[in-house]
Amino acid sequence: MDCKNNNSVILLCVAATMLSIAAGPVSGLVLHPGGEPNLAVWTDRPSENVVGRWGSYASCVAIAPNCIITTRHQGGGLSSYVEIAGVRYTISQIWEHETADLRLAKLHGANLGEFVDIYEHTNESGKQVVLAGYGVAAGAPVETAGTTYGYEWDVMSPRTLHMGTNQVENPVSDSNLAGLVSDVLVGDFDGLGEGGSTQYESIAAQHDSGGGWFIKDGGAWKVAALMRAVEPHFEPEHEGEKDYILQESWFRQREHPTVPDADVHDGVRISSYTHWIEDTLPGVLAGDLTGDDQVDGADFSVFARHWGRTDCKSPDWCLGSDNEGDGDVDAFDMAYFGEHWLDNDSGL
């Protein structure tokens, strides 16, 4: 393949050398030092409560009161856990796409107060996205002759939620190291003020797999992709030995550190799999306000706490107590709740 003369092939050639970002012992969403957002001030972004951790080695996004979406290449299963909005959940069911790097998981006992819709449009190219995943910030800069060309990944820092921005360059189709063929959205890591850099320019790193690329649509943030892979850099430990992967992100050339050369990363494209997601996404049992697949006294306690409220809003509608979605919890909602009293997931 001629990677120099065909733009569509360039992306495929780069993607073919990418590193699956769930493998290995390190983690992080890398931002430029001095260019990190202050999450207390930066409000035009998705809620922190819609992004969670898949076990100790990946990230995920809440897309329903009882369900998250993530990638599948990181492994794990029903014995894994999801931690989201400060609560740890066990997993009751998992659905995996036959060919794509996608996984849905139902959380036992979850009735999440915040979640996002999926982005179904195919106009992602050129749009700015917010990246969000559980990892650490950039570590020490790497330099040539005193000029910074990238950053190490800080492997000693604790994993915390980081958010940044990027821009969608182009959708492509590619396989990752697990052999899963997925449609993906591609972005790159420009230097601040260089190329197509965004305000909080960032790039995914290990353990950000399954974290979200979010696009604002109709005033609401929606998940448009799940972080999947990042361009690696190889270095022989000793002359003549096999290459190992540097835990670094670069935005310029190492040999010529004044020349821009943005690392590439990608995310599984949600718009290519909307039908599978919508057909697979588990429903919520009517009247079940605690997420345990039955309607009983625990649900009534939730309903009672919200009784009389007039400020219920989408998407959670007072944790489902406002069944009508009209903003209040009143006698009509009580009647609906009573109709489903003692229902369970078997309909008995």
Q: Is residue 109 part of a domain?
A: no
Residue 60 token pair: 């995920």
- Residue 111 to residues 10, 107, 337, Cα–Cα distance (Å): 44, 9, 16
Terminal-to-terminal C-alpha distance of the chain: 60
Task: Give the tens place of pLDDT for each residue, 32-80.
Answer: 998 899 989 999 999 999 999 999 889 999 999 999 999 999 999 999 9
The residue type of 315 is: P
Contact 225, 268 (CB under 8 A): yes
Question: Does residue 163 belong to any structural domain of this protein?
Answer: yes
The conformation of residue 89, written as its DSSP 8-state character, comes to E
Domain shared by 258 and 303, yes or no: no
The sign one gets for the Cα dihedral 154, 159, 160, 164 is positive
| Residue 313: predicted pLDDT | 76
Q: Does residue 316 surpass a pLDDT of 60? A: yes
330 and 249 in a common domain? no
Residues 69 and 141 in one domain: yes
CA–CA distance, 21 with 232 (Å, rounded to integer)? 10
pLDDT 10s digits, 222-269: 999 999 999 999 888 777 776 888 899 999 999 999 999 999 999 999
Does 252 share its domain with 315? no
Structural domain ending residue among the three candidates 256, 276, 296? 276
Helix or strand or coil: residue 333? helix
Is residue 257 domain-shared with residue 192, that is, in the same domain? yes
Q: Which residues of 145-158 are buried (b: 16+ CB within 10 A; e: fewer)?
A: eeebbbbbbbeeee
Q: What is the pLDDT of residues 179-217, one digit of tens each?
A: 789 999 999 999 998 888 999 999 998 889 999 999 999
The answer to whether residue 157 is domain-embedded is yes
What pLDDT, on the 0 to 100 scale, is given for residue 136?
Answer: 67
- Which pLDDT value is given to residue 177? 63
Rounded to whole angstroms, the Cα distance separating 66 from 125 reads 30
- For 99: left if phi > 0, alpha if psi spans -120 to 50, otherwise beta; the answer is alpha
Q: Same domain, yes or no, for 138 and 192?
A: yes
The predicted pLDDT at position 303 comes to 72
Note whether 198 and 327 are same-domain residues.
no
The residue ranking higher by pLDDT, 2 or 148, is 148
75 Cβ neighbours under 8 A, 6+ residues apart: 22, 57
CA atoms of 123 and 151, how far apart (whole Å): 32
Report the pLDDT value the prediction gives residue 332, as an integer from 0 to 100: 77
Structural domain ending residue among the three candidates 249, 276, 303: 276
Contacts with 340 (C-beta within 8 Å, 6 or more apart), sequence order: 285, 286, 287, 288, 295
Pair 257, 314 in one domain = no
Mean pLDDT computed over every residue of the chain: 84
Determine the Cα–Cα distance for residues 64 and 165; give it in Å rounded to an integer. 24
Residue 101 lies in a domain: no
Res 120 pLDDT > 70: yes
Residue 145 lies in a domain: yes
Q: Are residues 233 and 190 in the same domain?
A: yes
With residues binned 3-state (H G I as helix, E B as strand, rest as coil), the percentages for the chain, rounded to 5, are 10, 35, 50
Q: Is the pTM of this model over 0.85?
A: no
Q: At what angle do helices 331-339 and 297-306 cross, to 10 degrees?
A: 170
Residue span of the structural domain in which 338 resides: 285-348
Report which residue type is found at 10.
I
Q: Are residues 267 and 292 in the same domain?
A: no
Does 206 share its domain with 332? no
Most confident segment among 40-49, 166-175, 242-251, 322-331 = 40-49
State which of 276, 299, 317 marks the end of a domain.
276
As for how many domains the chain has, the answer is 2
* Res. 13: pLDDT tops 80: no
Confidence of residue 289 (pLDDT cuts 50, 70, 90): low
As a dihedral over the C-alpha atoms of residue 332, residue 337, residue 340, residue 346, rounded to 10 degrees, the angle is 130
Q: Residue 281: is its pLDDT beyond 80?
A: yes
Quick one: 52 and 128 in the same domain? Answer: yes
C-alpha torsion 309→216→38→251, nearest 10: 160
